[in-house]
C-alpha cells in the first residue's frame, strides 16, 4: 500500500488530478450545506456577470438562478452518474468477459458476438434512443450510460483472463483440485484487477462526458440541476452571455481531466513494469 502511494505520487499529474477530484467531491458532498436552497430558485436579477454582485461570485443565469449553486449541485449529479454507471458497466462487463475468456469455446463465441454487437452500435446514439424512450430520469440515464459503456470492459477482462489462464500457476491450481469458480475468482481475477481499476477510472470520466452531453441535448432529469443542462440552457444567449456556458464547461473539463490524470497515475502505480516500458 505504501509502495502504491509512493509510486502514484511520483506522477505529478496524478497528484494534481487527485487534488482536483477531492475538491469536486467535497463540493458535491457539502452542497446542501453550502447552498441549502434549491439551485432552481431565482435569487437575483438575471444575467449578472461573475464577480459583479457580492454573494454571487459566478453571477446568475438567464432566469436569475445562482450559477455557483447550480455548479455545486451539478457536481453531485456528475459524480453519482459517473460512479454508478461505471459500477453497473463493470457488473455486466467483468463477469461476461471473465466467463468468455475462462471457458472459451461456445461460451466465448456467444459472449463476444453479443459484445461486438453492442460495440458496433454507435454508443452515444444508443444512449440518446434509450433515454428518450425510457423518459429521462437519473436512474434511466445512469442505466443507459452503463449499457453503452460495458463492451470495452468485457473485452479487456476477456483478454486478461485469456492470457492469465494459460499461466502455469493456473494449471497448478487445477492440479490441486480446485473448482473452476475458485480458480477464476481466487487466482485469475485478482491478477486482472490492476487494468480493470485503471479502466474504471477512465470510464467514470467518459460517463461524466456522456451524462453532460445528454443533458445538454435536453435529455437530463428535468428535476435535477446538472452541468450539461446549464450549458444547454445558456446556449441561446451564447452571444451576449458566453460565460454562462463557459463556467460549467470548465467544471466538466476539470473533473474529466482529473479522472484521466488519476487513471494514468494508477496505471503507473499498479503496472510499474508496463509503465516503465512505455516511457
Partner 1 sequence: MRSIRDWPERDAEMEPVLKICDLAISLPPGADRGFAVQNIDFDLSAGEILCVVGESGSGKSMTANALMGLLPDQVEVARGTAHFEGRDMLALPDHERRKLRGDRIGMIFQEPMTALNPLMRIGDQIAEVFEAHNRHTPSERRDKALALIKEVGLPDPEKIIRAYPFQLSGGQRQRAMIAMALALDPAILIADEPTTALDVTTQAQILELIKTIQHRHGMSVMFITHDFGVVAEIADRVIVMRYGEIVEQGPVAEVLKTPQHAYTKALLEAIPSDHVPSPEPVSGPAVLEVRNLRKTFVTSGGLFRPKRSVTAIDDVSFSIARGEVLGIVGESGSGKSTVGRAIVRLVEADSGEILLDGQNMTALSADELRRARRRVQMIFQDPYASLNPRKTILHALCEGPIVQGVSRDKAHARARELLEIVELDAGAADRYPHEFSGGQRQRIGIARALAMDPDLIIADEAVSALDVSIQAQVLNLLRDLQKRLHLSLMFITHDMRVAAQLCDRVAVMQRGKLVEIGPVAEVFLNPKAEYTRNLLAAVPGTDWNRGAA
Partner 2 sequence: MTLLSAIFGRAAKAAVTLLLIVVLNFFLIHAAPGDPAMVMAGEAGAADEQFIAQLRERFGLDQPLYVQFWNYVSGVVQLDLGYSYRQQMPVLDLILDRLPATLLLTLTAFGMSLLLGIVFGLAAAARQGRWGDTAITSMALLFYATPLFWVALMAVVLFSVKLGWFPAFGYGTVGADLSGLDLVLDRLRHLFLPALTLGLFFMAVYLRMTRSSVLEVSQMDFVKTARAKGLGEGVIRRRHILRNALLPVVTLAGLQAGQLVGGAVLTETVFAWPGIGRLMFESLTARDYNTLLGVFLVSAAMVIAFNIITDIVYRLIDPRI
Summarize as ranges the residues that interact with partner 2 (CB under 8 A). 116-117, 119-130, 132-135, 205, 209, 212-213, 216-219, 228, 231, 235, 238-239, 242, 245-246, 249, 252-253, 256-257, 260-261, 277-279
Least separation in angstroms between residue 167's CB and partner 1 is 5
Q: Does 167 bind partner 1 (CB under 8 A)?
A: yes
Kindly tell me which of 11 and 245 has the beta carbon lying closer to partner 1.
11
Q: DSSP label at 43?
A: -
Centroid of chain to Cα 6: 25
What the block records as the C-alpha cell of 163 is 492470457
- The number of residues that bind partner 1 (CB under 8 A) is 15
**Which one of partner 1, partner 2, none is in contact with 99 (Cβ closer than 5 to 8 A by kind)?**
none
Which residue(s) pair with 60 in the sheet? 66
226 binds, among partner 2, partner 1, none (CB under 5 to 8 A by kind): none
**Which residue in 129, 28, 30, 15 sits closest to 81, CA to CA?**
28
Measured on CA atoms in the order 60, 66, 72, 78, is the torsion positive or negative?
negative
Q: Are 131 and 123 in contact (CB under 8 A)?
A: no
**CB-wise, 38 or 180, nearer to partner 1?**
180
Give the CA angle between residues 175, 110, 122 to the nearest 5°. Answer: 130
Stretch that binds partner 1, among 80-88, 118-126, 150-158, 171-179 (CB under 8 A): 171-179
Looking at residue 224, the DSSP 8-state letter turns out to be S
- Where do contacts with partner 1 occur on this chain (CB under 8 A)? 167-169, 171-179, 187, 190-191
Amino acid at each position: 500500500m505504501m509502495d502504491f502511494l509512493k509510486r502514484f505520487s511520483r506522477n505529478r499529474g496524478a497528484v494534481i488530478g487527485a487534488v482536483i477530484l477531492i475538491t469536486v467531491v467535497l463540493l458535491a458532498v457539502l452542497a446542501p450545506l453550502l447552498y441549502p436552497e434549491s439551485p432552481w430558485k431565482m435569487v437575483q436579477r438575471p444575467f449578472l456577470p461573475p464577480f459583479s454582485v457580492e454573494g454571487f461570485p459566478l453571477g446568475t443565469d438567464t432566469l436569475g438562478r445562482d450559477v455557483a449553486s447550480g455548479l455545486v449541485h451539478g457536481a453531485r449529479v456528475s459524480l453519482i452518474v459517473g460512479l454508478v454507471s461505471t459500477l453497473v458497466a463493470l457488473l455486466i462487463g467483468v463477469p461476461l468477459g471473465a466467463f468468455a475468456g475462462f471457458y472459451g469455446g461456445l461460451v466465448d463465441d456467444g459472449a463476444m458476438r453479443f459484445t461486438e454487437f453492442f460495440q458496433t452500435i454507435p454508443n452515444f446514439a444508443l444512449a440518446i434512443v434509450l433515454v428518450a424512450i425510457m423518459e429521462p430520469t437519473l436512474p434511466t440515464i445512469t442505466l443507459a450510460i452503463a449499457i453503452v459503456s460495458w463492451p470495452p470492459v468485457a473485452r479487456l477482462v476477456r483478454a486478461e483472463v485469456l492470457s492469465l489462464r494459460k499461466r502455469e500457476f493456473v494449471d497448478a491450481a487445477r492440479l490441486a483440485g480446485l473448482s473452476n469458480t475458485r480458480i477464476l475468482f481466487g487466482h485469475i481475477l485478482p491478477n486482472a484487477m490492476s487494468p480493470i481499476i485503471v479502466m474504471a477510472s477512465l470510464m467514470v470520466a467518459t460517463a461524466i462526458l456522456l451524462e453532460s452531453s445528454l443533458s445538454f441535448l435536453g435529455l437530463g432529469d428535468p428535476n435535477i440541476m446538472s452541468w450539461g443542462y446549464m450549458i444547454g440552457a445558456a446556449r441561446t444567449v451564447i452571444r451576449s452571455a458566453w460565460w454562462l456556458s463557459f463556467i460549467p464547461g470548465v467544471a466538466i473539463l476539470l473533473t474529466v481531466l482529473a479522472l484521466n490524470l488519476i487513471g494514468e497515475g494508477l496505471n503507473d502505480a499498479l503496472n510499474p513494469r508496463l509503465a516503465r516500458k512505455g516511457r
